[in-house]
Amino acid sequence: MNRSSSATSEASLLNQFFFAEEVPFGAALVRIALPMAAAIPMVLRFPRVRELYSTDGCATQLFELFGQGSVLPVLSPGLAIPLYGIMLVAFLCSIIGLRTRLSLAVLVVLYTYFNLLDGVSTITKYSVIATHMLLLLSVSNCGDIWSVDAWLKRHHSKTGAVIPPRSAVWPVRLMQLLFAAIYFGAAITKIQTAAFFSGEQMRYWMLSNWNYENPVGEVMAMWSPILLISAYLAVVWEILFAFLVWQPRTRVLMLLVGAAFHFMTWLTLGLYVFPAICLACYFAFLTESDFIRIRQFARRYRMAAVLYWPVAAGARLLNSVPRLVPAHATWGCLLAVGAIGFAEVERQLDLYGTNAPPGTMVLQVMDPIVAKTMIHKEQRVRQKDKFFNFEIGTSTIGGQLANRKTEFEFGDLMIAQCNMNPPHEDMWVECVLQDSEERVIERFGQFVTREMLRANFTYKFGTRLSAGDYTMVLKNANQELYHRDFKLTGEPPLMTTNQDLLTN
């Protein structure tokens, strides 16, 4: 009997989790914010539609990268460009909520098509997330509030009711579960990547400009303890997210940590669109009670007045539209105008000279000597380029040098660490200790095999040296690569009488 009641209780909780009815505040905010973020790269790619997505260019489908050939049809520019324009108009219609469900359905189909058509640059992790979220939005009631559809429904209603409609929350729950799965999968991937926990992977990313400039990341990359602590915190948070984000006591904390995490990816890694899309999707975790508390806070401090003018302007614009104009016809006309208008814009831009008097541009024959040089000339990697950096200190965290010092005392254990740039061959690497007059005092080395990302050299300051200025030199293949100057201070320890004890 207890088992039966327990099963009934669990079924009731599960039913309440997926089918409880709420006003779709969160889904509506996602509908507004997500297309804004996802449309940014697509608008920027519009002048290159002919090259990226049509038969005139070099479309590389995602399926081709996996050896499955061309699954999707590649259209001519006369069809690809208008369809791309329709997709951009569908972004706009989704944001304002005009024929919301239909606009989102069109957007999902075209957005997915153009992403799959360019597996080299267009389809990324953020576009995959956006595709799934748009699909879930298309089956939700996100257009019931804060949309043109909602205004039209209220405008044509005889009662003029303004009570927001409620609907089942299962589409929002699927959005939340999607992010929980994304974070959990990301954590599992990171756990299997040793370079992530050692900090090398994050350091290389911070120092590169593969995305956009990230000056803050370039500074933080040199502080190994920050990288190591951040790596462990990120993995712990990604694993716990799926278990704590629905708990009342920890939900806000997990979301705030997630927002900070995505903000830091923009600040330190130069990512713009990815954090914007993820933060836009975080509105899916906004519940009806959350919105009520936020609204009460805004009214208390008169913050809601900021939205008065945009809402009033939108209402005046909609009121100026005659009631006889059908919404479906307006929506269809907008798509048609978008298709024709964007096709004309592309024709006027004419980046590829298709409308110029000579006709379509043709590839120029390369100089045979230059071609042979590019194909046959071997470009050897300099020895210095095989090493990322060389630093000296006294302590490590997770294998990474935790402090950088230029002054040491007798009795200190110096750690000289060099980090490698993969890939590299097996190498013999040396450290040479020199005095202020470049006289060699000590030479020691080790083999750095091809799978190693770093090597540590240790030196104990004993009685052999006197206080003064010294230099630690990193050498490879008889080449001096790095110099690190330091000062030895204090008094050397007294000599011991024990003849069995060896010291420098």
Residue-wise pLDDT for 222-257, tens only, equals: 777 788 888 899 999 999 999 999 998 999 999 999
pLDDT bracket for residue 311 (50, 70, 90): low
User: Which residue from 84, 93, 91, 83 is spatially nearest to 37, judged by alpha carbons?
Assistant: 91
Average pLDDT over residues 45-50: 94
Beta pairing class for 413-420 and 387-393: antiparallel
Residues 268 and 220 sit within 8 Å (Cβ to Cβ) = yes
- With CA atoms as reference, report the closest residue to 418 among 429, 428, 409, 427: 429
The answer, yes or no, to whether the previous bond of 310 is cis (omega within 30 of 0) is no
pLDDT digits 0-9 by tens, 248-271 = 899 999 999 999 999 999 988 889
Q: By the 8 A CB rule, do 408 and 488 touch?
A: yes
Quick one: pLDDT at residue 11? Answer: 79
Average pLDDT, the chain: 86
Worst-scoring range by mean pLDDT, 4-13, 79-88, 331-340, 444-453?
A: 4-13
**CA 41, CA 87: separation in Å to the nearest integer?**
13
Whole-number pLDDT of residue 499: 43
- Helix (DSSP H) and strand (DSSP E) numbers for the chain: 19, 12
Strand partners, 469: 487
323, HSE (Cβ side, Cα atoms, 13 Å): 5
Report the distance separating Cα 339 and Cα 324, nearest Å: 25
- Asked whether the predicted pLDDT for residue 503 surpasses 60, the reply is no
Residue 301 reports pLDDT greater than 80: no
Q: What is the pLDDT of residue 343?
A: 92
Strand partners, 168: 21
pLDDT in tens, 179-232: 999 999 999 999 988 778 877 788 888 887 777 888 888 888 877 778 888 889
Distance CA 61, CA 87 (A): 19
* Closest C-alpha among 350, 448, 468, 340 to residue 390: 448
pTM exceeds 0.85 for this model: no
- Please state the domain extents for the chain: 19-168+322-362, 191-286, 383-489
Interval 320-345 mean pLDDT: 83
Question: What is the CATH class of 383-489?
Answer: mainly beta
In 3D space, the residue among 238, 134, 251, 259 whose CA is nearest the CA of residue 182 turns out to be: 238
Average pLDDT, stretch 130-157? Answer: 90
Integer angstrom CA distances of residue 425 from 194, 202, 429: 20, 23, 12
Average pLDDT value for residue range 381-399: 87
Does residue 495 carry a pLDDT above 70?
no
pLDDT for the residue numbered 5: 66
> Rounded to 10 degrees, what is the CA torsion of 155, 159, 161, 167?
-90
What tokens appear for 22 in the block? 């709420």
Residue 310 has pLDDT above 90, yes or no: no
Rounded to the nearest 10 degrees, the angle between the axes of helix 2-19 and helix 170-191 is 100
Model pLDDT, residue 501: 39
Contact present, 342 and 46 (Cβ < 8 Å): yes
Mean pLDDT, residues 489-496 taken together: 73
Phi-psi region of 30 (alpha: psi -120 to 50; beta: other; left: phi over 0): alpha
Contact by Cβ (8 Å): 53, 80 = yes
What is the per-residue burial (b if ≥16 Cβ within 10 Å, else e) of 147-174?
A: bbbbbbeeeeeeeeeeebeebebebbbb
What mean pLDDT do residues 370-395 have? 84
Q: Report residue 500's pLDDT band, with 50, 70 and 90 as the boundaries.
A: very low
**pLDDT confidence tier of residue 312, bands split at 50, 70 and 90:** low
Average pLDDT on 64-83 reads 92
More confident residue, 175 or 320: 175
pLDDT of residue 497: 44
Pairing of strands 468-476, 479-489: antiparallel
Report percent pLDDT > 70 for the chain: 89
- In this model, does residue 371 exceed pLDDT 60? yes
